[in-house]
Each structure stands twice: as C-alpha cells, then as structure tokens.
Amino acid sequence: INAEYKSADDVEVNVYAFGPDRAVMRCAKLIESMIALDPAYVRLGLFRKVPDSSEVEWLCLRRINSELRPPDVPAISLKLPGKYTLMYEGFKEAALRSAWEETGVAVDTKSVFPSGMLTSDDPDYHWRVPVRYFVSEVPYDVAVTGPIESSASTYFTSWDARILKQSSDPIDQYWATAANAETGCAWVKSSVLDELQKPLRGANYLTIRYTPPPYSDLQHITNLPPLES
C-alpha cells in the first residue's frame, strides 16, 4: 500500500468527528488549520570553538527510540538537538525550543541560521515530513543540563561506562569515555561525528546538514565546505 504514495502530500486520511454540532464544527476548523500548516522535524547544530585550536565540537545526545520504529531507525539514535514543530510554531522557534528541552541550552534567535533541509523520497516512508536544519555557535563554557525531567526517560543517560566499553558499537565505545552520564550529552569533534554517523547517515554528515550560510560569518569557524549546487 505504501508504494502507492510518492510523498506525504499524496496520502488521503478520513477523519470522523462525533459530538454536538458546535463541537464538530470547531473540530473541522482545527483540522483545516492543521492541514494548512507545514510540519517538519527540526535540528539545531550547536557547536563551540576549541580554545587555541581550529577545531570545533558539536553538542550531541542519544535518543531511545520506540520498539515500533521503522527498520532504518536504530534502537538508540546519535543526534544533534531538535525534535519537531508544534502547531503554529515556526521552524526556527521549534529548533530553539526543542534544543533547550533536550540540552538545557538557551540560544539567542539572532545567532541561529538555517543550514539545510532534507526530504524523503522513499515511498516506504511517505509519511515522513522534511527535516529543517539550523546552526549556531555557543560559548565554550556554556552550561549543558540535559533533557527536561518530563522526557528524560526518552534519552540515553546514567549508563555504566564499563559495559559500554565492551560493546561492539563504535558509538557506545566513544560514549563510554566522552559523554556525561548525568546529562546524556557529549561534545564531539567534527571528524569524529562524521565517522560515527557514516554507517547510517552516509558520508559528509555535517556538511550536508550543518554548513552555515555565507551571511552568517560562521563558515570559517566550522570549516565545513559549502555543498556544490
């Protein structure tokens, strides 16, 4: 059945509302408003410059995924901060909100720049919405507190480093020594992050998603080459 849909816009859904006429009318207006929106996943690449070096580090965390996840999604994802847009929420607004919810880092909207967008053209995943990417530089000593308590169980925290070191997964092995078990977060250098994401996300993970636009004056800091059009 999935092969019949080439994109999420082609999917037809029947919604049935039951109740008083007034409530049904309000529900219909709400659904119309939802359809008119442009939902998306969002990611905010927070990076910091390493003192006395040309290297930068990216703030990462690991999310525990549902058992009902698609086959191309691992049990635990390595990701940069960000979730999804809420109703009537702009892309940048969603990126700022969700990054704070996952890491505790509050970023000034003026320092956040769009860096890319990816869409899925696989008919097996016709329901996937686009992913909007943003990037922002933060101070080296910025405070990272980890995910808010209400969603903390969704993220990989409080692990036993001895067990992770014995894992065959390179991400587990790296996490055992580089990440903070209390916050569930880690600062990862660009070359390391590209290598850890390569088996699942392919080559040039950071360049494709987080190359800052020229007007941001951040390209010379991230050292990510702009993608060829």
What are 120-164's pLDDT values in tens digits? 877 777 778 899 999 999 999 999 999 987 677 899 999 999 999
Mean pLDDT for 88-103 is: 95
Determine the Cα–Cα distance for residues 86 and 89; give it in Å rounded to an integer. 5
DSSP states of the chain as a string? Answer: -GGG-SSGGG--------S-HHHHHHHHHHHHHHHHS---EEEEEEEEEPTTSS-EEEEEEEEEPPTT--TTS-SEEEE-S--BPPTT--HHHHHHHHHHHHH-----GGG-EEEEEE----GGGTTPPPEEEEEEE--TT-----S-GGGGGGB--S--HHHHHT-S-HHHHHHHHHS-TTT-EEEEEHHHHHHHHHHHH-S-HHHHHHPPPGGGT-HHHH-PPPPP-
Residue 12 has pLDDT above 80, yes or no: no
Mean pLDDT for 89-104 is: 96
Predicted pLDDT at 1: 38
Residue 79 has pLDDT above 90, yes or no: yes
Predicted pLDDT at 10: 61
Mean pLDDT of the chain: 89
Confidence of residue 179 (pLDDT cuts 50, 70, 90): very high
Q: Which residue has the higher pLDDT, 76 or 13?
A: 76
Predicted pLDDT at 2: 45
Q: What does the pLDDT look like over 192-218, one tens digit per residue?
A: 999 999 999 999 999 999 999 999 999
Structure tokens at 217: 């004056």
Question: How many CA atoms lie less than 13 Å away from 80 in the CB half-sphere?
Answer: 30
The pTM of the full predicted model, rounded to 2 decimals, is 0.85
CA-derived radius of gyration, the chain: 19
Do the beta carbons of residue 152 and residue 61 sit within 8 Å? no
